[in-house]
Amino acid sequence: MKPVLSENDKNQLEERIAGAEAITGTQIILATVRRSDSYAEIPWKAFSLAAAISGLLIFSLDLIFDGRIRDTPVLISIVSVLAVALITAMLTILFPGFARLFLSGSRAETETRQYAESLFLSRELFSTARRTGILLLVSRFEHKVVILPDIGLNGYVSKDDLEGVIALMKPPLAQGDLRRAMEIAMDEFIRIIKPLPADQQAGNELPDTIIEAGGS
């Protein structure tokens, strides 16, 4: 899998993570995944929709041209409908941006959150002494960001503040600037997270390395 962040990007971000952790007393984990689910239904949805639209188009043309389309062999009409549907389905496999047209926002949000929760558990990001980890996941196919704070941060950061961080990340992410989006998040974490008391800070318990995953 080709990395989406250069070595220089990673080094710069890891320095920003260390700085933000020192100020807030938290353990910050940045992660990016190609896609949070395989969405096997997308090609089939595209196939069905294209077949329905092309069939309706043929029917409409037949009405417009007073039944002349009916003189066309049925087999040709069927093959034309299936060809359009098949090409449309193939386009969803080849071009992620086109495939995203057939993915609902709610489904993308749900799958990204589930992937983030699974990553949080599989990487044991809950293992800090004071449960002060916070995961920020960017799922690139879905164009979604999920931020998961551990229970030790209850009262130190609010849901509204985290949604504000995500909103600020969207413009650079739309431009494909993942590093800039994550830098904004680091700056915002410093601003919105109330520093933990000194007796609750346990040093650097989790690696600052950026997690890059292929996903489903």
The answer on 117 and 82 residing in a single domain is: no
> Token pair 């990340």 is at which residue?
169
The answer on 149 and 58 residing in a single domain is: no
Residues in the chain: 216
1 located within any domain: no
Sheet strands side by side (includes 133-139): 144-149, 133-139, 27-35, 211-215
Quote the CA–CA distance of 190 and 100 in Å, as a whole number. Answer: 33
Q: Tens place of pLDDT for every residue, the chain, 216 residues?
A: 456 899 999 999 999 999 999 899 899 999 999 999 999 999 999 999 999 998 888 767 666 665 555 555 566 777 888 999 999 999 999 999 999 999 999 999 999 999 999 999 999 999 888 899 999 999 999 999 999 999 999 988 999 999 999 999 999 998 989 999 999 999 999 999 988 777 666 678 888 899 998 766
109 located within any domain: yes
190 located within any domain: yes
Write the burial class of residue 134 (CB in 10 Å: 0-12 exposed, 13-18 middle, 19+ buried). buried
Quote the CA–CA distance of 28 and 14 in Å, as a whole number. Answer: 10
Angle between the N-to-C axes of helices 178-192 and 7-24, in degrees from 0 to 180, rounded to the nearest 10: 10
150 located within any domain: yes
Quote the CA–CA distance of 122 and 156 in Å, as a whole number. Answer: 25
Quote the CA–CA distance of 87 and 36 in Å, as a whole number. Answer: 25
Q: Residue 185's domain is classified under what CATH number?
A: 3.10.310.50
The answer on 201 and 118 residing in a single domain is: yes
Domain count, the chain: 2
The answer on 45 and 33 residing in a single domain is: no
The answer on 17 and 62 residing in a single domain is: no
Cβ(47)–Cβ(88) under 8 Å? yes
The answer on 96 and 31 residing in a single domain is: no
The answer on 116 and 149 residing in a single domain is: yes
